[in-house]
């Protein structure tokens, strides 16, 4: 159970928590595939790409690959599994356009604005994200999320990725809060939940992509459930 007696501040993850990454990513690839006449059915591509992307992000969080390697590796692995013969030029084009187009799509999880409008009356709210500065700020602005949040703490800005304690400590210091005053809300058990709990920050796991059940903190599957926990 959450103890709300001292809580004044909420830290939200962005991708897979408020901003609907899977939908927006699929639409981005659809646009690129049409432009480049890539003959892979979109759904087939996404089914292969999505788990590879998650595994590559895990490697990136663990500092085993760079962000450039992340971008290349997830595409290379997907194309190889699908037996698609790609050129280095095409790989570069898809990567560049993916980053360029991604934040143009603005789908959010159902109930995002309704939830944030209610929460902002009671809590101070900030973002903590492992995403890259430029892309994340464009996502926030284009989707209409920016007005609800004070700080946007990115791993690129801070120099540490979730679940490293340093990024949470930085967010606490910059927002002038103690751990007991905050709750972290995110989709990743490893990055968001365990990272926060290690610093005694309470957490809510928005399990948007089917991670294993656990007892570390409350688990929800819709934003409406977050409202029920916090208000």
The catalytic site residues sit at 13
Q: Quickly list DSSP for the chain.
A: ----TT--EEEE--BTTTB-HHHHHHHHHHHHHHHHT--S-HHHHHHHHHHHHHHHHHHHHTTSS-HHHHHHHHHHHHHHHTT----HHHHHHHHHHHHHHHTT---B-TTHHHHHHHHTTT-EEEEEESS-HHHHHHHHHHHT-GGG-S-EEEHHHHS--TTSHHHHHHHHHHHT--GGGEEEEES-IIIIIIHHHTTT-EEEEE-TT-PPP-SSS-EESSHHHHHHHH-
Residue pair 171/11 in contact (Cβ under 8 Å)? The answer is yes
Strand partners for 127: 12, 152
């Amino acid at each position: 159970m959450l103890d709300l007696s001292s809580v004044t501040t909420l830290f939200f993850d962005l991708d897979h928590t408020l901003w609907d990454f899977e939908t927006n990513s699929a639409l981005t690839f659809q646009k690129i595939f049409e432009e480049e006449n890539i003959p892979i059915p979109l759904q087939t591509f996404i089914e292969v790409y999505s788990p590879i992307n998650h595994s590559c992000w895990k490697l990136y969080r663990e500092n085993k690959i760079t962000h450039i390697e992340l971008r290349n590796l997830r595409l290379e692995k997907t194309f190889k599994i699908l037996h698609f013969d790609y050129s280095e030029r095409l790989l570069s084009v898809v990567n560049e356009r993916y980053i360029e187009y991604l934040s143009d799509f603005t789908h959010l999880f159902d109930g995002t604005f309704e939830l944030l409008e209610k929460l902002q009356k009671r809590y101070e709210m900030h973002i903590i994200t492992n995403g890259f500065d430029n892309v994340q700020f464009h996502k926030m602005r284009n989707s209409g999320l920016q007005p609800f949040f004070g700080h946007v703490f990115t791993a690129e800005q801070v120099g540490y990725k979730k679940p490293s304690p340093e990024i949470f400590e930085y967010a606490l210091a910059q927002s002038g809060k103690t751990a007991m005053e905050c709750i972290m809300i995110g989709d990743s058990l490893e990055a968001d939940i365990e990272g926060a709990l290690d610093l005694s920050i309470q957490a809510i796991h928005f399990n948007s992509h089917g991670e294993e059940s656990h007892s570390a903190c409350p688990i929800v599957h819709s934003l409406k459930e977050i409202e029920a926990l916090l208000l």
